[in-house]
Amino acid sequence: MLSQRLTRWTSRALLTRVRVPLARPAISQIQVRHRLCSSCASANPVPAKPPAAAPDHRDLGTQQELFMTSIYSPGSPIFLPNGARIFNRLVEYLRKQYVHYGFQEVITPTIYKKALWAKSGHLENYADDMFTVTSTSPSRADVTEAGEVDEYGLKPMNCPGHCLIFAAQKRSYRDLPIRYADFSPLHRNEISGALSGLTRVRRFHQDDGHIFCRPNQIEDEISKTLEFIRRVYKDFRLGSYRLKLSTRPENHIGSLEDWEHAEGSLKRALDNSGEPWTLNEGDGAFYGPKIDVILKDSDGKEHQTATIQLDFQLPKRFELEYQAPAPGLEAKGETTTDPELLAVSGPVRPVMIHRAVLGSAERMFALLIEHYIGKWPFWLNPRQGIVLTVNDSEPVLQFARKTQNVLLGTDSADAGVHVSPSGLAVDLDDSARSLSLKIREAKTKGYGMIIVVGPKDIAHGTVTVDATGGLQTGDKPAQKNLVMSPEELLQFMKTKVDAYE
């Protein structure tokens, strides 16, 4: 506390002067300045600055208003409007890729009866990581045949639900491969002390996919999935990653012949991919070998993101099958032209491939935040553009609002006509503040394009654009002072989005 001792002087003008003694700084806080000659300076070099702290997605997420957490739902991130924009763009990006790679999207329940988890094996091997759901109203609770209240479980993964879909119809070898994709939220009961931002959560979304294929299609499906991963990581500019093949553990199910065939298919697919990979012997899942994609974050810590796993167990547990000629050879992945063998058809167990390209969308979101250090490429930027007014005159305000509506795709003059939103994120600042202040604020917030509207622009029906904001990823350098009509600017912005720039 400062001393309250005051010294007061009073003049005829009744002026009062107050002197307050200042607190003495600690010795460690005192900076002593020396006048040094050149020889002394070289002998006493200026200490190097400490290395900058690695970017933290939790801090950047708060600064950019991307997500928040709440004590009322630990481990369940709440995406704010800016974060929801990025999350939805990640999902829409994958949906476009699904068309190319032959995946069909399905929507499955969030909770299933305990009986399903017993059938899939999760109740036996994964119960501690699952949430149980029961009814608080006895009159509404489901009852088992034994008269007990039936319990439900929040799903920690989508594979049992996809097995139900496959089993719902009779399948032929001509139908395979069948590829399902699912963005349903998943829940896993992580230990509270391990929860952290978006990287360790209890509720998350996985770009979950399951491929049901014939044994002789394994290698081709693995190759396509590796190509899928390569394309996605290139578009996100995530840099290099490493592939790891984990093989048969001591405790496993399935015959050695099945394992050798599956591991051989994965090795050949990895060799043909041209990507470097390492062998992790004996670390596969008990139900099949797997390939993991390992990515480093900005702090050098490694994260397992994408994964490809072969599964021998679930098809057996759910008694999945398809009809094929020469079923004995079909099950071994072999073919024949013998008409006698081909004349006999029978059931064959499909191979199930689990695959996730991003892995947990939340974890990938965190890695992207730190990778870009909050400076997003235009197509992912939650603040793609902002329209700024030079003054607050009515003609300028009207043209600014029209420009925003054109860019948003909501400029239809007819109220009865259905609008076709562009999907762009464009804001408007028509406040009476100075233009320089508004530009400075827009740059601080990370807008990809700053669009200025003034009296001169109105006369020509154009706007002035600074396209240097955000992360620049195109082949040509971004430009300032671009002059174009709102309609031309709309096409310019769409082109960047379509090119994932």
Q: Given 155, 290, 363, 496, which residue is catalytic?
A: 290
Residue 299: active-site member: no
Give CA–CA dist 137/416, Å, rounded: 47
Residue 159: active-site member: yes
Residue 188: active-site member: yes
Whose structure tokens read 């199930």? 352
Give CA–CA dist 469/465, Å, rounded: 11
Residue 208: active-site member: yes
Looking at the DSSP bridge assignments, the partners of residue 449 are 385
Give CA–CA dist 121/178, Å, rounded: 23
Residue closest to 281 by CA, chosen among 312, 311, 307, 259: 259
- Cβ atoms of residues 177 and 212 within 8 Å: yes
Q: Given 182, 207, 208, 457, which residue is catalytic?
A: 208
* CA-to-CA separations, 492 to 145, 407, 464, 500, in angstroms, rounded: 64, 10, 13, 13
Residues with Cβ < 8 Å from 399, sequence gap 6 or more?
A: 453, 457, 458
Give CA–CA dist 329/348, Å, rounded: 10
Q: Given 354, 355, 363, 383, which residue is catalytic?
A: 354
Residue 354: active-site member: yes
Give CA–CA dist 307/310, Å, rounded: 10
Residue 429: strand, helix, or coil: strand
Residue 163: active-site member: no
Give helix 81-101 / helix 361-372 axis angle, nearest 10°: 110
Residue 437: strand, helix, or coil: helix
Residue 292: active-site member: no
- Cβ atoms of residues 385 and 450 within 8 Å: yes
Angle, alpha carbons 96-477-91 (nearest 5°): 20
Alpha-helical runs (H) found in 102-141: 114-120, 122-125
Residue 215: strand, helix, or coil: helix
Give CA–CA dist 324/168, Å, rounded: 18
Q: Given 200, 202, 206, 213, which residue is catalytic?
A: 206
Q: Given 210, 248, 252, 383, which residue is catalytic?
A: 210
- 10 Å CB burial of residue 354 (0-12, 13-18, 19+) is buried
Calculated CA dihedral for residues 109, 114, 118, 119, nearest 10 degrees = -40
Residue closest to 233 by CA, chosen among 293, 287, 168: 293
Q: Is the dihedral of CA 302, 308, 312, 317 positive or negative?
A: positive
Alpha-helical runs (H) found in 286-359: 313-317, 327-331, 339-342
* CA-to-CA separations, 355 to 163, 204, 310, in angstroms, rounded: 14, 16, 9
Q: Which residues are catalytic?
A: 159, 188, 206, 208, 210, 290, 354
